[in-house]
């Protein structure tokens, strides 16, 4: 498939990043990045600020040059080309609408630069898609944030780029508008069939919108996959904590069977299926999502299909309507967070109560990180260090209250 | 440089009114306080200040209608003669000087604004060796006394053997105007969101298209302000001009020379005309802005 800026893309093109490295004076934004995004997909690059995700996007747009590596769009090497020569359009975080032009002039800008006929008609069509055609003659300053966001989107998709880049475009909107725009973006992507590359630090946004999510940390991709796959089976401490919350335990593998491994956590054996564990020997970190953990007032019956921890004490109960979050302190193991749906009326346990927690063995996961790496000498931005810091912060918070 | 202050005040006024308009909606209610000293002291003080400021202008305007013979000091009766025959006195010396000043002002402004804008963009957008020292050096002509600048230039022209005429005046004016242009335009460039230019590039604009369709239109208010400032500076510069003009007459130089034997009413005519022209410009700008704001308000 040949890609030229002179013509409209029939459909989205795939994007390939090969061995990308980007150094700025004084720091390295991306150490080594390989990434393939299939045509027509909605791909989210998720990570904390400073993880290199926006740099990646700017490299693809042609606004930065990689120090090393190649960028291919639809099989064509575009590494050496300038931004205006690439079949790529961006929805900027600040929208970057031209303040001195009317909305319609903004939307038609790209078409006019490419000398595509019927620029006005096409621009009006794109504005109708985002339901803003009636504001075509206004200036950007006269529009609300949400409207500006939609104009920025129309200005990009009117060009039918092979690849559309979204740089946290919903960050400045309030929650309600953001939810609405998420749905609209998803609908538009399905309608026009372009490849979307969405950069965000909002894990919920990434999971709601994207087919594939790549979690990025410190300039490289930690894990990539469908949202439910990433959530149910995180592979690193960073992913387990950045994408939702996790209860994590560290211990030595004490026994293995054909289908499962048993980990000794301060004298308690916790079982994880072999297929869901990344490491099968030595020191390992295992975990379980808080909503998969059940809370018991009495010691549950021992069963090979459930992991049981306890007894412990409830140290915090926070009721949020739909669910209740319990924090249970278990001697030697630490704290375990439990999310329980409010199926009955009110919380089932209160602070100070003696409780047990349990979860289905099939719901646990084993992480790939080396627990020995974690320690007080680790760098502050290390994935383990983040986990340790979070834990400490939580403990401090609990001690305060 | 008294005119320079005037020009800055006019320009400042132009820019300020824009900001006021933006914040106008938020203007709170005026609080009523007890009637006290401040209630009459401030108005009286304000009136006095304005009288003090405006007396020279009113004097100039009124005495441009004086039926004077030689010196224009005592009132001898009202006439339109001086306005109608402004170029017919002393072989049109006043008008010639005025025309010279306009030509010098325009040429120096065009050159200084073009170069200054380019320098300002480079200083803000690019990181290069000696960038901060160049910024500093550009301030020097503003900080140096004009007498020194003028004398220094005159000495250089003499040393190189360049005859003093219009060209040397234009060179001198361009030199000190560039600094003011750079300072004015730099502020505008710095406040420009770089994402706008990136969006232009992203939307298939070649570097020159991005400059002319995005960067330049957005810089226009700053460039216009700089051009007005540099024209005003050039138009009423006397000191540097006097050192570098040879036998060429400019308006300030003409007035200075004629002051020794009584300034003719024709000078008042030209000065009043310039003042009225500037006044009309400001009023037109304000009215059109108000009309636009009204139109926008109606739209939304």
> Looking at the structure, do residues A150 and A222 belong to the same domain, yes or no?
yes
- CB-based contact (8 Å) between B205 and chain A? yes
CA distances from A170 to A41, A55, A63, A206, B109 (A): 19, 18, 21, 11, 45
Beta bridge partners of A27: A24
Average pLDDT for residues B279-287, to the nearest whole number? 92
Q: Is the pLDDT of residue B229 over 60?
A: yes
Beta bridge partners of A30: A22
How crowded is the C-beta side of A61, counted as CA atoms within 13 Å?
29
- CB-based contact (8 Å) between A378 and chain B? no
- Beta-carbon contacts of residue A67 (< 8 Å; ≥ 6 apart): A21, A22, A23
- Beta-carbon contacts of residue B72 (< 8 Å; ≥ 6 apart): B63, B66, B262, B263, B264, B265, B268
> Looking at the structure, do residues A207 and A119 belong to the same domain, yes or no?
yes
> What mean pLDDT is reported for chain B?
84
- In tens, the pLDDT along B1-18 reads 344 444 444 444 444 344
> Looking at the structure, do residues A208 and A323 belong to the same domain, yes or no?
no
The confidence band for A385, taking pLDDT boundaries of 50, 70 and 90, is low
Among A175, A210, A230, which residue terminates a domain? A230
Which region among A170-174, A195-199, B25-29, B153-157 has the lowest average model confidence (pLDDT)? B25-29
CA distances from A336 to A242, A289, A296, B44 (A): 17, 10, 13, 75
Residue in A49, A389, A380 with CA at minimum distance from that of residue A219: A49
Alpha-carbon gap, residue B62 to B59, rounded angstroms: 5
> Looking at the structure, do residues A182 and A272 belong to the same domain, yes or no?
no
CATH code of the domain in which A290 resides: 2.40.50.140
Residue in A110, A103, A145 with CA at minimum distance from that of residue A128: A103
- CB-based contact (8 Å) between A142 and chain B? yes
Q: Give the residue from chain B lying closest to A87, CA to CA.
A: B204
Q: What is the pLDDT of residue A34?
A: 92
- In tens, the pLDDT along A40-54 reads 899 999 998 888 899
Q: Which chain A residues are within 8 Å of B217, Cβ to Cβ?
A: 100
Is the distance from CB of B104 to CB of B250 less than 8 angstroms? yes
Alpha-carbon gap, residue A220 to B149, rounded angstroms: 59
> Looking at the structure, do residues A174 and A289 belong to the same domain, yes or no?
no
Q: How far is CA A347 from the centre of its chain?
A: 31
Q: Which chain B residues are within 8 Å of A97, Cβ to Cβ?
A: 199
Number of domains in chain A: 2
Q: What is the pLDDT of residue A370?
A: 73
The confidence band for A346, taking pLDDT boundaries of 50, 70 and 90, is confident
Q: Which chain B residues are within 8 Å of A83, Cβ to Cβ?
A: 198, 201-202
- CB-based contact (8 Å) between A9 and chain B? no
Is the distance from CB of A286 to CB of A273 less than 8 angstroms? no
- Please report whether residue A4 resides in a domain: no
Q: What is the pTM of this model?
A: 0.76
Q: At what angle do helices B93-125 and B216-235 cross, to 10 degrees?
A: 140
> Looking at the structure, do residues A86 and A224 belong to the same domain, yes or no?
yes
Alpha-carbon gap, residue A79 to A74, rounded angstroms: 13
Q: Which stretches of A99-232 are assigned E, i.e. beta strand?
A: 163-167, 195-200, 212-217, 220-225
**Could you identify the residue written with the tokens 């048993």?**
A262
- Please report whether residue A253 resides in a domain: yes
Which region among A102-106, A136-140, B37-41 has the lowest average model confidence (pLDDT)? B37-41
Smallest CA–CA separation between B214 and chain A, in Å?
Answer: 7
- In tens, the pLDDT along A186-210 reads 888 888 788 999 999 888 888 888 9
Q: Using CB atoms, pick whichever of B205, B218, B299 lies closest to residue A100.
A: B218
**Phi and psi angles of residue B69, each rounded to the nearest 5 degrees, phi first:** -105, -65
Share of chain B above pLDDT 90, in %: 50
CB within 8 Å of chain A, chain B residues 216-245: 217-218
> Looking at the structure, do residues A57 and A164 belong to the same domain, yes or no?
yes
Which region among B20-34, B47-61, B245-259 has the lowest average model confidence (pLDDT)? B20-34
- Beta-carbon contacts of residue A157 (< 8 Å; ≥ 6 apart): A89, A126, A129, A164, A188, A192, A194
Pairing of strands A212-217, A42-46: parallel
Q: Give the residue from chain A lying closest to B209, CA to CA.
A: A113
> Looking at the structure, do residues A24 and A115 belong to the same domain, yes or no?
yes
Q: Using CB atoms, pick whichever of A61, A114, A139 lies closest to residue B204.
A: A114
Task: Give me the count of residues in chain B.
Answer: 300
Q: How far is CA A111 from the centre of its chain?
A: 33
Q: At what angle do helices A103-113 and A119-129 cross, to 10 degrees?
A: 130
Residue in B225, B203, B229 with CA at minimum distance from that of residue B214: B203
- In tens, the pLDDT along B92-119 reads 788 889 999 999 999 999 999 999 999 9
Contact flag B202-A99 (C-beta cutoff 8 Å):
no
CATH class of B97-257: mainly alpha
- Which domain covers residue A56, as residue numbers? 15-230
Is the distance from CB of B164 to CB of B198 less than 8 angstroms? no
CB within 8 Å of chain B, chain A residues 55-94: 61-63, 82-84, 88-90, 92-94
- CB-based contact (8 Å) between B292 and chain A? no
Instruction: Report CA torsion sign: A275, A277, A283, A288.
Output: negative
> Looking at the structure, do residues A256 and A117 belong to the same domain, yes or no?
no
**Cis-peptide into A311, omega within 30 deg:** yes
CA distances from A197 to A36, A162, A213, B162 (A): 11, 11, 10, 64
> Looking at the structure, do residues A188 and A267 belong to the same domain, yes or no?
no
**Tally of CB atoms within 10 A around A273:** 16
The confidence band for A160, taking pLDDT boundaries of 50, 70 and 90, is confident
Alpha-carbon gap, residue B287 to A67, rounded angstroms: 54
Contact flag B199-A110 (C-beta cutoff 8 Å):
no
- In tens, the pLDDT along A117-148 reads 899 999 999 999 888 999 999 999 999 888 99
Is the distance from CB of B256 to CB of B238 less than 8 angstroms? yes
> Looking at the structure, do residues A222 and A282 belong to the same domain, yes or no?
no
**Phi and psi angles of residue B149, each rounded to the nearest 5 degrees, phi first:** -60, -50
What are the tokens at B160? 């190189």
What are the tokens at A343? 């199926």
Count interface pairs A-B at CB distance under 8 A.
Answer: 67
Average pLDDT for residues A102-130, to the nearest whole number? 92
Alpha-carbon gap, residue A275 to A283, rounded angstroms: 17
The confidence band for A316, taking pLDDT boundaries of 50, 70 and 90, is very high
- Beta-carbon contacts of residue B203 (< 8 Å; ≥ 6 apart): A84, A89, A109, A110, A113, A155, A159
Is the distance from CB of B4 to CB of B232 less than 8 angstroms? yes
> Looking at the structure, do residues A263 and A245 belong to the same domain, yes or no?
yes
Alpha-carbon gap, residue B117 to B216, rounded angstroms: 10
Instruction: Report CA torsion sign: B194, B196, B200, B202.
Output: positive
Helix (H) or strand (E) holding A265: strand A260-265
- Report H helices in B131-215: 131-143, 146-160, 166-190, 194-202, 207-210
CATH code of the domain in which A184 resides: 3.40.50.300
- Please report whether residue A386 resides in a domain: no
Residue in A295, A300, A298, A346 with CA at minimum distance from that of residue A320: A346
Q: Using CB atoms, pick whichever of B196, B203, B218 lies closest to residue A110.
A: B203
């Amino acid at each position: 498939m040949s890609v030229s800026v002179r013509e409209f893309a029939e459909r989205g093109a795939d994007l390939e990043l090969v061995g990308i490295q980007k150094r700025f004076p004084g720091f390295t934004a991306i150490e080594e990045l390989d990434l393939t995004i299939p045509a027509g997909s909605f791909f989210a690059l998720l990570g904390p600020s400073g993880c290199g995700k926006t740099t990646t996007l700017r490299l693809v747009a042609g606004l930065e040059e990689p120090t090393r590596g190649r960028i291919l769009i639809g099989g064509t090497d575009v590494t050496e080309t300038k931004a205006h020569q690439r079949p790529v359009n961006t929805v900027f975080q600040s929208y970057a609408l031209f303040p001195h032009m009317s909305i319609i002039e903004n939307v038609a800008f790209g078409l006019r630069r490419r000398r595509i006929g019927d620029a006005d008609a096409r621009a009006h069509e794109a504005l109708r898609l985002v339901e803003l055609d009636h504001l075509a003659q206004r200036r950007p300053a006269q529009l609300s944030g949400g409207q500006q966001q939609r104009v920025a989107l129309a200005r990009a998709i009117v060009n039918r780029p092979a690849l559309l880049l979204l740089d946290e475009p919903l960050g400045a909107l309030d929650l309600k508008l953001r939810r609405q725009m998420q749905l609209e973006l998803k609908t538009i992507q399905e309608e026009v069939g372009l490849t979307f590359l969405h950069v965000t630090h909002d894990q919920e946004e990434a999971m709601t919108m994207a087919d594939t999510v790549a979690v990025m940390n410190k300039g490289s991709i930690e894990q990539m996959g469908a949202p439910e796959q990433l959530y149910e089976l995180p592979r690193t401490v960073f992913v387990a904590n950045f994408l939702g919350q996790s209860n994590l335990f560290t211990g030595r593998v004490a026994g293995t069977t054909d289908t499962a491994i048993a980990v000794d956590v301060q004298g308690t054996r916790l079982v994880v299926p072999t297929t869901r564990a990344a490491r099968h020997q030595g020191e390992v970190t295992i975990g379980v999502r808080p909503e998969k953990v059940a809370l018991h007032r009495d010691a549950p019956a021992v069963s090979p299909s459930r992991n049981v921890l306890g007894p412990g004490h409830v140290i915090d109960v926070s009721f949020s309507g739909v669910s209740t979050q319990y924090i249970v302190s278990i001697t030697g193991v630490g704290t375990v967070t439990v999310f329980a749906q409010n199926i009955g009326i009110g919380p089932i346990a209160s602070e100070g109560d003696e409780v047990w927690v349990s979860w289905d063995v099939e719901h646990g996961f084993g992480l790939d990180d080396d627990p020995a790496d974690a320690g007080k000498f680790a760098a502050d931005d290390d994935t383990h260090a983040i986990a340790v810091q979070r834990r400490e912060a939580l403990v401090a918070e609990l001690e305060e209250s | 440089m008294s005119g320079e202050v005037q020009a800055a005040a006019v320009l400042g006024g132009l820019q300020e009114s824009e900001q006021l308009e933006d914040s106008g909606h938020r203007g709170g209610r005026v609080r009523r306080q007890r009637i006290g000293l401040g209630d009459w002291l401030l108005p009286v003080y304000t009136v006095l200040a304005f009288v003090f400021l405006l007396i020279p202008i009113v004097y100039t305007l009124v005495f441009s209608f004086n039926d004077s013979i030689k010196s224009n000091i005592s009132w001898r009766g009202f006439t339109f003669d001086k306005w109608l025959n402004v170029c017919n006195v002393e072989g049109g010396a006043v008008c010639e000087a005025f025309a010279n000043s306009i030509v010098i002002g325009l040429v120096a402004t065009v050159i200084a604004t073009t170069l200054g804008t380019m320098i300002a963009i480079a200083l803000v957008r690019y990181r290069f060796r000696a960038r901060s020292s160049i910024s500093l050096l550009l301030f020097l002509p503003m900080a140096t006394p004009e007498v020194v600048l003028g004398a220094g230039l005159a000495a250089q022209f003499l040393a190189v053997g360049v005859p003093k005429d219009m060209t040397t005046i234009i060179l001198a004016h361009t030199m000190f105007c560039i600094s003011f242009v750079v300072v004015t335009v730099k502020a505008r460039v710095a406040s420009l969101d770089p994402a706008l230019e990136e969006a232009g590039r992203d939307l298939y604009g070649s570097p020159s298209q991005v400059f002319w369709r995005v960067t330049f239109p957005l810089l226009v208010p700053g460039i216009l302000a700089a051009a007005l400032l540099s024209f005003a500076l050039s138009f009423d510069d006397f000191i540097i001009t006097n050192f570098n003009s040879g036998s060429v007459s400019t308006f300030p130089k003409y007035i200075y020379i004629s002051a020794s034997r009584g300034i003719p009413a024709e000078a008042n005519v030209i000065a009043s005309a310039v003042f009225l022209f500037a006044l009309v410009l400001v009023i037109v700008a304000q009215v059109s802005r108000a009309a636009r704001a009204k139109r926008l308000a109606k739209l939304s």
